[in-house]
Every structure is written in C-alpha cells, then in structure tokens.
Amino acid sequence: MTRSAGRAPRVGIVGLGYMGLGTGLAFAARGLPVIGYDAKPEIRSAVARGVTPYHEKGLAALLRTQVRSGRFRVVDRLDDLVAGAEGIFLCVPTPPRPSGRIDLRPLRRATAEVARAIGAVTRYRLVVVKSTVVPGTTEAVVLPDVLRHSGRTPRTVSVASNPEFLAEGTMVHDALYPDRVVIGTLDHRAQEWLERAYRPFRAPVVSLTPSGAELVKYSANAFLALKVSFANEVARLADRLGVHVDRVMDAVGRDPRIGPRFLRAGPGFGGSCFEKDVSAFVARARELGVPLRTGAAALRANEEQMAYTLDFVRTVVGTLAGKRVALLGLAFKAGTDDVRESRAIPIAERLVAEGAEVRAHDPVAVEPFRRIWMAPGPRARGRLKLCSSLEETLTGADVAILQADWPDYLRWTRARSRRMRRPLLLDLRRALDPQAAERVGLTVIGLGAGGPVSPARIARARRAR
Ligand code: UGA
C-alpha cells in the first residue's frame, strides 16, 4: 500500500480550457482536492475569482461552489501544482495541422514543464494525458519526454492515458456522471491511483493500455461522426423522395442495436473535435498501413453536406445577390459560444461571396465569431453585419437561415415574422414546427424535411407579409 493510500487522491489540472476546467471541477465536486493551472495569466485570474471564461451550462455555478469550498484552487506556478498534486492531468489543446495530423507542440511543452517540476520533488508522480492524442502518443512521446525532463525512472513516475468524452453544452453533466471511465496504464501504481480518483463517480471503469485508451477515444468520435454523416446522407435522400428524415431516423434509431442519438441531420458536423479527430485518426491509420475508409467517408460526406446545404438555400432563395439574409446561430451548435469549425462560417462566407447582405446573430457567440471572421485570411469580409439583437437581424430580411437551434429562436412570434421583408425561414436543423410557425406568419422549410421545395410554397412565403 502506498503511503498516501488513506488520503483522497490530490488532482492537478494543467490547462483550464473547457475540458480541463470541467474535469477539474467534477473531481472537486466528488470531494477530491484539485489544483488548477493555465499558462495564460488571464485565464488563471478569471478562474481563481470564480469567473468562467466560457459559456457552458452550469459551469459558472459549479466553479463558484468549488472555489468557495476550497476544494478547487488555482495556482500561478506550475511548480506549486506539481508539489501539491500526485496525479497531474494534461488538458492542453492538440490543434489540427493542415496535413490532418495534430500539433503536439503545446502538449510536449506542457509535458516538459511538468516533468521538470517533477524532477524537483521527491515523491511519486503520475502524468495523465487527457488531451486527445493519436494512438501510441502517450507511450512513444509523453513517457520518454517525462523521463528525460524529470530525470526519474519508471519506478517513481508513471504516465497514463485517460481520454475525456465531454460534449460542450452538456459538459458539467457529462463530467459528473460519466458513462464510463477509460484508463490506459502501464503499471499497477498508476492504475490504482486512477481507480481511486474515479471511485466517487461510481462509473464503470474500462482498463486498457495507453494505446488502447487512445484508440477508444478516436473510435468513439469517428463512430459518432459517422452516425451524423449517415443521417445527413439519408436527409438528402429524404428530400429527393419527399420523406421527412426525422421520421425515418426515429424509426431506425428505435432499434437498440443502433440507438436514437446522433442521428439528427443538419448542416454537417462542426466543433473542435470531430473533424480534427477523424482526420488525425485517418492519417494515423494510414501510417499504420490500415486504411480507415469509414472515417474518410464521414469527412467526405460532411464536406458534401455543406455543399448540399448551400444548394438547398439557393433552391429556395434563388439568386443570393442583393438579398438580405438573417443568419441565426453562429456557434457550432446551440448551448455553447464555441465557433470553432462552426458551419456558420462557410455558410456566411458563401452567402457574402454570392452577393448577399448578411446579418448574423447568436445569443452568446457573436464576439467569438467576430474574432474568427476578422482574423487575417482570404475571407470575403464585406457585407456581413454582426447584430446583438434578433430584431435588428431580422429587419428587412428576405430569408432567415437557422444554423443553431437555440431555444429562443424556437419561440417565434408574429412580431418577428413582421420584421422580415419575406417571412421565410430555412431550418437547417428542423427545430421549428412548421405548422405552429405558419400560425404566426412564418413559412418554414426544413432541410431533409421532404423537399424538393414546392414552388407554390415559396411563392406563398414571398407573398405573405
Ligand atoms: C464531441 C463528442 O460528442 C464528445 O463525446 C467528445 O468528448 C468531444 O467531441 C471531444 O472529443 O472533445 P462536441 O464536439 O462538444 O463533443 O459536440 P457534439 O454534440 O458531439 O456535436 C458535434 C457536431 O455534430 C455539432 O456540429 C453538432 O451539431 C453535430 N451533430 C451532432 C449533428 O449534426 N447531429 C447530431 O445528431 C449530433
């Protein structure tokens, strides 16, 4: 038995992004003492004051409670974190590179700093890779880096993989009530420590090697992306066949072998994970001589879904030049202010490139969208106005496009319809009930809801005021 076996495991979180913060607060909420650190001073000071830098349901309340309880604290020096925590979770980004592979530099920098700090303490330490990395990375890259920079041997320091499955928008719930905890270790000490740390969560623990755990993470995201892409392809077929995709996928998903979730067609998947992870998975599989055709197909179908979405808009709206378009929802999905890989970006780009005058709105993601939109690059920036009010966005619009299904958009009113020049909404998520909308003067045409769109319906929408 280790000397610290009677005490609650002490957790260190390096990287207080969405995922690091969610993970750390969940450990604190389960009674473990947690120390957090982020390389960015502004994030450290915000979190230390109990302020979340991100829009995430329940996160701010959880942070305040855990900071107040004293179980979650932020330190300004990594050395203090390493001195106080035995299990150090690396939660730093692994951004995509143009080749599809991931950029390991931030992770390797954090690993080196943590390892050097480990070299300065005497007790056992465990470095846990929570960042998403391709199978083989923990063993082939992180372990040698930890040993080299700490000057330790595997008798007094371990590495492990412990991937996360938190989705933005439901992160707090996902972190507090995990479906499963996946642990990839190389020795008993690391295994035992992680099992103790996760015991209060009462979740099933799946134990593998680090490569096995890393493979679980990529397989899960690739499979979820595949489900979405599959539903999107069925939506295109449904439009051709005059069938509603949700009725079809509802019946398909009732088969317990398939399951109902992640079968909602839309403009294609976005976010910082699916495209990045599946691309990296496909690239890694290729390196290993095993073509991952399903992953590549999910990505390809996702690109095609964007093209289909734009065609759908053009079919209904006709020429875009000179039209005023209200783009509703800029985040990659409702419930978050994250705009990374949001489908709103290519949609807005296309609309602007084709001469539309775009007014764009999101309840929380206007500023993050502005930062991406204004970033240097080849983007056609003219004729897009970011609005803070929905009313302003809709005023004089020839058409609205619903990209993210925020609850407020679903509470449509006659006043909103009246603000538009033509009260027509293209619902990329089929979130509004077209009949209820019709009663408040709005014609809704859903992607995958059984087009092709009848010219009579469009004409009616254009006449209605
Ligand atoms: C995803 C996974 O769901 C998490 O389990 C995982 O931990 C995370 O990636 C990650 O690797 O960090 P997230 O990207 O936050 O989480 O969001 P999702 O809810 O998975 O949505 C991804 C995209 O798929 C969004 O654009 C969403 O609109 C789209 N989607 C999802 C659909 O179009 N239809 C669906 O039925 C579900």
* One-letter amino acid of 266: G
- 284/225 Cα distance (integer angstroms): 17
Report the SS3 class of residue 126.
strand
Phi, psi of 358 (to 5 degrees): -105, 130
Q: Which residue lies with its CA nearest to atom 28 of ligand 1?
A: 333
The residue written with tokens 């943590």 in the block is: 114
CATH code at 218-302: 1.10.1040.10
304-462: which CATH number, 3.50.50.60, 3.40.50.300, 1.20.1070.10, 3.40.50.720?
A: 3.40.50.720
- Give yes or no for residue 167 CB within 6 A of ligand 1: yes
Catalytic residues: 273
- What residues contact residue 307 under an 8 Å CB cut-off, 6+ apart? none
Looking at residue 96, the DSSP 8-state letter turns out to be B
Looking at residue 37, the DSSP 8-state letter turns out to be E
- 26/170 Cα distance (integer angstroms): 13
Q: What is the pLDDT tens value at each position of the chain, 465 positions in all?
A: 444 456 899 999 999 998 999 999 999 999 999 999 999 999 999 999 999 988 999 999 999 999 999 999 999 999 999 999 999 999 999 999 998 899 999 999 999 999 999 999 999 999 999 999 999 999 999 999 999 999 999 999 999 999 999 999 999 999 999 999 999 999 999 999 999 999 999 999 999 999 999 999 999 999 999 999 999 999 999 999 999 999 999 999 999 999 999 999 999 999 999 999 999 999 999 999 999 999 999 999 999 999 999 999 998 899 999 999 999 999 999 999 999 999 999 999 999 999 999 999 999 999 999 999 988 776 656 689 999 999 999 999 999 999 999 999 999 999 999 999 999 999 999 999 999 999 999 999 999 999 755 556 556 555 553
Evaluate whether 330 touches 362 at the Cβ level (below 8 Å).
yes
Closest CA to 24 of 40, 9, 38, 35: 35
- 453/239 Cα distance (integer angstroms): 8
Q: Which residue lies with its CA nearest to atom 13 of ligand 1?
A: 167
- Give yes or no for residue 249 CB within 6 A of ligand 1: no
Largest CA distance in the chain: 78
Fold matches, 218-302 and 304-462: no
Closest CA to 262 of 232, 292, 238: 232
- Give yes or no for residue 22 CB within 6 A of ligand 1: no
- What residues contact residue 252 under an 8 Å CB cut-off, 6+ apart? 258, 263
Q: Which residue lies with its CA nearest to atom 35 of ligand 1?
A: 262
Evaluate whether 315 touches 453 at the Cβ level (below 8 Å).
yes
Q: Which residue lies with its CA nearest to atom 1 of ligand 1?
A: 167
* One-letter amino acid of 267: P
- 352/320 Cα distance (integer angstroms): 9
User: What is the separation of C-alpha 392 from the centre of its chain, rounded to a whole number of angstroms?
Assistant: 29
The helix-helix angle for 210-241 and 274-287 (nearest 10°) equals 120
The residue written with tokens 């009616």 in the block is: 460
What's the pLDDT score for residue 72? 98
Evaluate whether 177 touches 200 at the Cβ level (below 8 Å).
no
- Give yes or no for residue 223 CB within 6 A of ligand 1: no
Evaluate whether 327 touches 303 at the Cβ level (below 8 Å).
no
Q: Which residue lies with its CA nearest to atom 19 of ligand 1?
A: 167
User: What is the separation of C-alpha 77 from the centre of its chain, rounded to a whole number of angstroms?
Assistant: 29
- Give yes or no for residue 102 CB within 6 A of ligand 1: no
What's the pLDDT score for residue 2? 47
11-208: which CATH topology?
A: Rossmann fold (3.40.50)
- 97/134 Cα distance (integer angstroms): 13
- Give yes or no for residue 230 CB within 6 A of ligand 1: no
* One-letter amino acid of 105: R
- What residues contact residue 300 under an 8 Å CB cut-off, 6+ apart? none
Exposed e or buried b per residue across 343-375, where buried means at least 16 C-beta atoms within 10 angstroms of its C-beta: bbbbbbbbbbebebbbbbbbbbbbebbeebbee
- Give yes or no for residue 266 CB within 6 A of ligand 1: yes
Residue 360 Cα distances to 54, 370, 437, angstroms:
21, 10, 21
- 123/75 Cα distance (integer angstroms): 20
The CA 222 to ligand 1 mean position distance, Å, reads: 11
Evaluate whether 182 touches 190 at the Cβ level (below 8 Å).
no
Q: Which atom of ligand 1 is nearest to the CA of 166?
A: 7
- Give yes or no for residue 298 CB within 6 A of ligand 1: no
- Give yes or no for residue 431 CB within 6 A of ligand 1: no
Which two tokens mark 315? 């079919």
Q: Which residue lies with its CA nearest to atom 34 of ligand 1?
A: 264
- Give yes or no for residue 274 CB within 6 A of ligand 1: yes
The CA 77 to ligand 1 mean position distance, Å, reads: 34
What's the pLDDT score for residue 383? 86
> Starting at the edge strand that comes first in sequence, how are the strands of the sheet with 72-74 ordered?
72-74, 34-37, 11-14, 87-90, 125-129, 157-161, 181-185, 205-208
- Give yes or no for residue 218 CB within 6 A of ligand 1: no
The CA 123 to ligand 1 mean position distance, Å, reads: 39
Phi, psi of 285 (to 5 degrees): -60, -40
Q: Which residue lies with its CA nearest to atom 23 of ligand 1?
A: 269
The CA 176 to ligand 1 mean position distance, Å, reads: 18
Q: Which atom of ligand 1 is nearest to the CA of 261?
A: 36
The CA 271 to ligand 1 mean position distance, Å, reads: 7
The CA 429 to ligand 1 mean position distance, Å, reads: 14
Phi, psi of 129 (to 5 degrees): -90, 110
The CA 167 to ligand 1 mean position distance, Å, reads: 6
CA count, 13 A, side-chain hemisphere, 427: 23
Which two tokens mark 222? 């690739």
- 344/336 Cα distance (integer angstroms): 14
Domain locations in the chain as residue ranges: 11-208, 218-302, 304-462
